[in-house]
């Protein structure tokens, strides 16, 4: 486990590209979210997405939230006060917040605890054999999806290798790094703590 003294800005920058590639991009993909909804159906909640407000996010990005079908309302991490990019400049975790809402996981008041709960949620999801099987069968194995996800860890922006074992291993590595030191990237200005 990397401690504060071993968390450098270079490691955080590298982590951010891995996280965007293997967490934000994949679990923000509506096809993946459809698989989650099929495997874990909910009579009340459904996933929704809209083009993000450029005041809060990068241009041409999406904002994920939950639609409550029973009372015709939305659960949004910004409106709920969990996601504020004016305070936590790199907090692009709306897809994780919305998954937590979908699974009815209480969102902790502290920023680090929220992220630890997100990591636990993803590990639980990946431990579900059926979910992994559906992800592989319904999405990853299809040749038409070979250029579905970009690999932002590669300077040439090549595509993620569409192999379930490769993807799972990379997700697990990102989760380990996130738990160890990557959470710093999503807190405040996203800088490594001083040693």
pLDDT tens-digit profile, the chain (195 residues): 445 558 899 999 999 999 999 999 999 999 999 999 999 999 999 999 988 765 544 555 789 999 999 999 999 999 999 999 999 999 999 999 999 999 999 999 999 999 999 999 999 999 999 999 999 999 999 999 999 999 999 877 799 999 999 999 999 999 999 999 999 999 999 999 974
CA separation for the pair 107, 113 (Å, rounded): 9
pTM of the model: 0.91
Question: Is there a contact between 27 and 122 (Cβ–Cβ < 8 Å)?
Answer: yes
- Residue 62: the pLDDT is 84
Give the end-to-end CA distance of the chain in Å, rounded to a whole number. 16
Number of Cβ within a 10 Å radius of residue 127: 9
Question: Is there a contact between 108 and 114 (Cβ–Cβ < 8 Å)?
Answer: yes
CA separation for the pair 182, 157 (Å, rounded): 22
- Residue 54: the pLDDT is 53
Nearest to 14 by CA among 161, 184, 168, 193: 184
- Residue 60: the pLDDT is 58
């Amino acid at each position: 486990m990397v401690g504060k003294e071993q968390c450098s800005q270079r490691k955080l920058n590298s982590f951010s590209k891995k996280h965007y590639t293997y967490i934000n991009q994949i679990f923000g993909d509506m096809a993946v979210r459809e698989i989650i909804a099929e495997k874990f159906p909910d009579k009340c909640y459904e996933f929704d997405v809209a083009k993000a407000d450029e005041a809060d996010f990068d241009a041409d990005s999406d904002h994920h939230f939950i639609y409550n079908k029973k009372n015709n309302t939305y659960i949004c991490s910004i409106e709920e006060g969990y996601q504020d990019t004016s305070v936590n400049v790199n907090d692009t975790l709306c897809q994780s917040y919305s998954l937590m809402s979908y699974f009815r996981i209480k969102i902790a008041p502290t920023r680090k605890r929220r992220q630890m709960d997100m990591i636990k949620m993803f590990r639980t999801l990946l431990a579900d054999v059926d979910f992994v099987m559906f992800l592989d069968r319904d999405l990853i194995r299809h040749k038409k999806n070979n250029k579905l996800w970009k690999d932002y860890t590669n300077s040439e922006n090549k595509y993620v290798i569409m192999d379930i074992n490769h993807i799972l291993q990379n997700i697990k590595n990102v989760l380990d790094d996130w738990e160890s030191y990557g959470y710093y990237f999503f807190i405040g200005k996203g800088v490594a703590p001083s040693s």
